[in-house]
Amino acid sequence: MRADLRAWGVLAAVGAMITTFAIPIGVAEPAGAAIHKCAGTDGATSYQDRPCGPSATPADFDGTIAPMSVLPSPPTGATVGRREAPARAPRAERARRPETQRPGNPADRKHLRAGMSEGEVVARIGPPDLTTGKGRRLARWTWMPVPGDPDTITVVLFDVGRIVEIERTVVKR
């Protein structure tokens, strides 16, 4: 008996909540209003919140036309032209950026040995061009060819901050 009364009490409370919140939602007006595009007798286009047609009285429309656009447009009477990109010199004629002086001696790349620390390597030949595995146990650092060490890619594999493998690959141009 008590369980039945409790169930009816819960249902009554839920019903009251639904009634309290559902009725105002059904009565409330929608948040957005419709916009109607109307053509005037002189061919002008106007936008208004009431439907177009004979039911609209002159008192409803004051004659001012509000501009409405979602995209910027050029002023009335302006011509729109396409802008051309500035001409660029052919690739072979473009000035190259001067190469920055990097710390370390690239010629010392061939003198790396197993067991050297990351700090020793950076001090001797400078920072790598590419790195992978940063923050992990294994890391791979790569140095690309430079004038001090031409046509050679140097790859060093570190395990817990010490060199375990060195690979020097000669590349043909």
Q: What is the pLDDT of residues 120-141, one digit of tens each?
A: 999 999 999 999 987 788 999 9
pLDDT of residue 127: 92
The three-point CA angle 5-11-15 to 5° equals 145
Domains by residue range for the chain, with CATH? 35-67 (no CATH), 106-170 (3.30.1450.10)
Q: What is the DSSP code string of 105-149?
A: -GGGGGG--TT-BHHHHHHHH---SEEESTTSSEEEEEE--BTTB
Secondary-structure breakdown of the chain: helix, strand, coil percentages, each rounded to the nearest 5: 25, 20, 55
| pTM for the model | 0.43
Averaged pLDDT of the chain: 76
Q: Which helix (H) or strand (E) holds 169?
A: strand 162-170
